[in-house]
Structure 1
């Protein structure tokens, strides 16, 4: 069930991350340069390489921040009367956390609407649920049980794509984030190999 449940969010994360990189070619080049330096061009990226790909990990964090796969986290019900942020919450109230809003809060994130993976290079903020300004997987006891599997999947697939192919948006691609939420929007990408032919067989 965990694999099936995480399939949509993992693929959505990959698509959103690729789109953000395609809109920011300098970040795409930086990620590819890091891959070339850490892995070289004589082999395919292996899972053991991921720990060396600090910029790639920052790209994924920034993608989770700007475009969380689940903008509204699953609802929770208050079991008893409580106070949250100065508000009285009666027992039985359904509460929904707006991760999208939290992760774009200008009081926490300078240039909150901009794609800037570099913000995570000097920060210990992570997506594991310990830092409440970045909670794409939720936090606490209710954090997504598939977080480790999802992150490993996103890292290795993204690393292999960026390492293996140069890419650019198809000239006719039109993508408006404000109109895309909840809809299927095609992302047309032009790929060209960047490794020796023998590695693609």
Structure 2
């Protein structure tokens, strides 16, 4: 199940719902360290954070466009309280999503049940191309066909 949790993290890193975070406003002036130089952010500046680019930054992630769940194996990486801000899935600080831990737990448990009770297949090759807007959506719908994998004897013992 550890690998499934890594798959969830990698899926959220590459295919999070939105490319941009909700607009924030700085409360006081600050300096943000950049890779090439520092940036002065004056007080009362409205900020739009491009989380899509952060999650695909080659200076942070090795082979950032590749789907590699193993990058999270044997590492303590809390996607909700990400101290390095390398994913920013649910916002940060006071603007962070309060239900994030519950949401991640529900996704994790739901996937475990779906993979335990069903075999999955797709008749067509899966197309992961996206189109951008306020949210990121797949260009083609995913059609997955589940088949029940447990016998009736196994069900009676549950």
State the TM bucket, normalised to the shorter chain.
0.7 to 0.9
Q: Given the alignment, which residue of 80, 83, 95 partners 1:142?
A: 95
Q: Given the alignment, which residue of 78, 87, 93 partners 2:26?
A: 78
2: distance between equivalents of 1:129 and 1:72? 18
Structure-1-length-normalised TM-score: 0.65
Tell me how far 1:170 sits from its aligned partner: 2.7
Residues 1:62 and 2:10 are matched in the alignment: yes
2:150 aligns with 195
Residues 1:166 and 2:119 are matched in the alignment: yes
1:124 aligns with 76
Point out where structure 2 has 5 or more consecutive residues left out of the alignment: none
Cα 1:87–1:163 change in 2 (3 A) is: same
1:3-61, Cα deviation, whole Å (9 max, x unpaired):
xxxxxxxxxxxxxxxxxxxxxxxxxxxxxxxxxxxxxxxxxxxxxxxxxx211111111
Tell me how far 1:166 sits from its aligned partner: 1.1
Q: Given the alignment, which residue of 103, 110, 127 partners 1:157?
A: 110
Cα 1:71–1:63 change in 2 (3 A) is: same
Which one has the bigger strand percentage? 2
Alpha carbon RMSD of aligned pairs, Å?
A: 2.3
Structure-2-length-normalised TM-score: 0.81
